[in-house]
């Protein structure tokens, strides 16, 4: 499941696949449910859609920031302590942001725009203006290179020609 998809979709969408007449999907759904939905971790644990704070990303980001500040990895211990002491001066400000639910990291404008488009799609889905399959197709189109989709459509067209 993508970090861009709301956790509730993970619960609902596999059930909708069972409505399909494609029998292979009927075999796929139990696997999805047993592995990803009802497995050790439920979707709310691993889907990060619309969360300001994404722990792994923030920890990695902090580690990269320290490496950047030190201008190299594997610095001497005294240099690391000096830089960490400087960073400690920002803890209060960072804590205020975190506890108010704000993110302290910068996000690329394209990433923000993509997330807003996905929120809009999910709102359309909840208002029944669009179906789940269309949401998945549009979401995949936003995060997958366009060449893939062009080749996929060409392949489908070839299959349709063969059927006739």
Domain boundaries, the chain: 7-51+108-163, 55-99
Q: Is the pLDDT of residue 51 over 80?
A: no
Say how far apart CA 80 and CA 24 lie, in whole Å.
55
The model carries a pTM of 0.40
Radius of gyration of the chain (CA): 22
For residue 1, the model assigns a pLDDT of 39
Torsion of CA 142, 114, 118, 115, to 10 degrees: 140
Asked whether the beta carbons of 46 and 55 are under 8 A apart, the reply is no
Confidence of residue 151 (pLDDT cuts 50, 70, 90): low
Asked whether the beta carbons of 120 and 138 are under 8 A apart, the reply is no
Residues with Cβ within 8 Å of residue 70, at least 6 apart in sequence: 79, 80, 83
Report the percent of the chain where pLDDT is more than 70: 62
If you average pLDDT over residues 19-24, what whole number do you get? 69
Asked whether the beta carbons of 135 and 125 are under 8 A apart, the reply is yes
Q: Is the pLDDT of residue 3 over 70?
A: no
Say how far apart CA 13 and CA 36 lie, in whole Å.
12
- Chain segment 121-134, per-residue pLDDT in tens: 888 988 889 888 88
- Chain segment 85-140, per-residue pLDDT in tens: 888 888 888 788 777 877 666 777 887 888 888 889 888 988 889 888 888 888 87
């Amino acid at each position: 499941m993508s970090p861009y998809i709301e956790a509730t979709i993970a619960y609902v969408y596999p059930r909708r696949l069972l409505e399909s007449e494609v029998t292979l999907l009927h075999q796929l759904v139990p696997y999805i449910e047993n592995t990803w939905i009802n497995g050790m971790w439920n979707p709310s644990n691993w889907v990060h859609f619309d969360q300001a704070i994404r722990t792994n990303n923030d920890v990695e980001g902090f580690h990269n920031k320290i490496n950047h500040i030190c201008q190299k990895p594997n610095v001497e211990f005294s240099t690391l302590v000096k830089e960490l002491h400087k960073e400690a001066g920002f803890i209060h400000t960072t804590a205020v942001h975190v506890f108010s639910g704000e993110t302290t990291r910068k996000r690329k404008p394209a990433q923000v725009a993509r997330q807003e488009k996905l929120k809009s799609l999910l709102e359309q889905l909840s208002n029944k203006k669009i179906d789940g399959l269309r949401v998945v197709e549009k979401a995949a189109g936003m995060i997958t290179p366009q060449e893939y989709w062009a080749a996929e459509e060409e392949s489908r067209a070839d299959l349709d020609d063969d059927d006739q």
